[in-house]
Chains A and B, each alone.
Chain A
Amino acid sequence: KQEVTQIPAALSVPEGENLVLNCSFTDSAIYNLQWFRQDPGKGLTSLLLIQSSQREQTSGRLNASLDKSSGRSTLYIAASQPGDSATYLCAVFSGNTGKLIFGQGTTLQVKP
């Protein structure tokens, strides 16, 4: 059974700091991995999608990497801003279940 784990559950950093969010998954049979952002009271916004054949994707200050063999992904946020404060969710599209399996998320607070 595919399980997705995100560590830490919460993170607080000062503005301007570079930071890394971690995601691990137990079954390497995935089609892709996605990072989402969720603001309070809102739905999820897709940030980056990495296909299983890719190693990383970049969008602005965000960079996501994927190491399928070790079952790990990282989301790197450069020069963090208070507007980056949100919950970040990692999800893998499982090849065995045909479903998107989500981690519990990391809640990020960036202090001015």
Chain B
Amino acid sequence: DAGVIQSPRHEVTEMGQEVTLRCKPISGHDYLFWYRQTMMRGLELLIYFNNNVPIDDSGMPEDRFSAKMPNASFSTLKIQPSEPRDSAVYFCASSYSRSWQPQHFGDGTRLSIL
């Protein structure tokens, strides 16, 4: 079975540029989650979707961040404009349920904003 697939694995870009992170969830999962991991703050939930609909985006740090899920097999997280403090590892995860089943994580995108 293919797991959660994220691209790119690494992204290095200059401050002010637009960054788009991509995620393909596990087929059949109806929940999709975007997390950010930093040394200072650990793992934080940014936003999650249920059946392609955004349910809770209270973790999105600023209006510079946006996420979409146009269909059940694809989601994007966009940062525009990017800033050095956005440097982190961004994970996508999917699951059959919000709470009762374990979440399956992708390998993450390591983002560096110069």
A93 in contact (CB, < 8 A): yes
Chain B residues within 8 Å of A18, by CB: none
Chain B residues within 8 Å of A21, by CB: none
A98 in contact (CB, < 8 A): yes
B91 x A103 contact (CB < 8 A): no
Q: Nearest-CB distance from A108 to chain B (Å)?
A: 17
B100 x A32 contact (CB < 8 A): yes
B102 x A34 contact (CB < 8 A): yes
Contact of B98 among A44, A98, A102, A103 (CB under 8 A): A98
Chain B residues within 8 Å of A54, by CB: none
Closest to B106 in A: A43
Instruction: Give the top 5 A-B pairs by smallest Cβ distance, nearest first.
Output: A43-B105, A46-B102, A102-B43, A44-B105, A31-B99
B113 in contact (CB, < 8 A): no
Q: How many residues of B contact A (CB 8 A)?
A: 21
For the complex, give the distance between the alpha carbons of A32 and B102 in Å.
10
A75 in contact (CB, < 8 A): no
B105 x A93 contact (CB < 8 A): no
For the complex, give the distance between the alpha carbons of A104 and B54 in Å.
27
A42 x B107 contact (CB < 8 A): yes
B107 x A103 contact (CB < 8 A): no
Contact string, B91-114, partner A, CB cutoff 8 A, digits 1/0?
101000011111111111010000
